[in-house]
Structure 1
């Protein structure tokens, strides 16, 4: 049976997951994500490159890094934990001002693995915020300057502006024609440019952002139907469908986990 449990604390979301038949669709998170494969094999495509994390593998994801995910062994369940850490918090703990990116996507480091497990356990057992902050510092102390690359890449200006416009439409219906017109492109040129630069279509990006912000809204309001209305999902089943594709469980199940 597939199982996904989330817990939030000190601007960090911890996830315990057990899956065998479930697979994540292509998506991205706004946070830095650090995880440990506890059992089985985690297979995923990261920025167009196939990855496999075996037992004790530490998985490292940068913010907005496109990926999917599935169990790589049909005979064995995949067990893993993840920590989703807001960029500003992670950079503060690192002592960095500018955005950096992990230079490796999977590492095998026993201390880092255990430090991630320790913080995950502290979050699930609702330990004091001070302890959680100390455990986060333990994690970031594992990294040296060589473990990161500075993010000097300048995002395509058209894509950057398009993303900003899409963010403004999260509570509405995506209008590709209007965005393309604003960018002096036809809609097919716009879709092609956006996908070439991001790996996903504008509509996929729109849905991914909508689900991420619906999750935050649900955490604040604890109101499923207000979330459906606020982010213009057709109905609760529509929200649940897209929520599960990103987080492994329905919005309803996630709400129950917040209690």
Structure 2
């Protein structure tokens, strides 16, 4: 067998290598920390939320958004969602490249910043319409709120002396109203907790004016630059949907 035939036979076994993201659709990459429950426990992060862990996730999200050139990113807990325009052509929209490189960027960034080896997994979600994209991000924010409420209730019970089993059983099947009242009885108003804990954090590009000096014309000049904004005061529900729609409409206008 000649070398060319042998190589082609081997490459034919790379079964998923030819998979491409559908053309003309919105792309969302969602990343999750692998076994982060054990990692956060062993690293002694505060429960249910830790400011240092929060900052590490924001730093990791920023790196992903910058390197992959997304238009919006959202992070809550150990999860990151990145939005890309329909004409995004990263590695010819290769699914293998998208998931492997995004996971490697997240893992490397967090590991370097934290000093402890961690891993992220990655998956792709495709949206055929703006409304689907809006629904996606509303879904993830609703999940953030639900998890935040559950986390605060669970760790409040644990700090009051309840065992893992007892705290879990006490919250099983309980309503949102019950959980809010439980926190209130312990002196915690859920609606007054930091917004980033209850609604997650958004990252996106913003334009700003930068002053400089033109030595040739010997005068001050103002140029427009772009930078990442970290938004820890996101709106919620319908208002958050309108917020996301603004990014989608801006992309359409720029085409």
- TM-score w.r.t. the length of structure 1 is 0.28
Structure with bigger helix share is 2
Larger radius of gyration between Structure 1 and Structure 2: 2
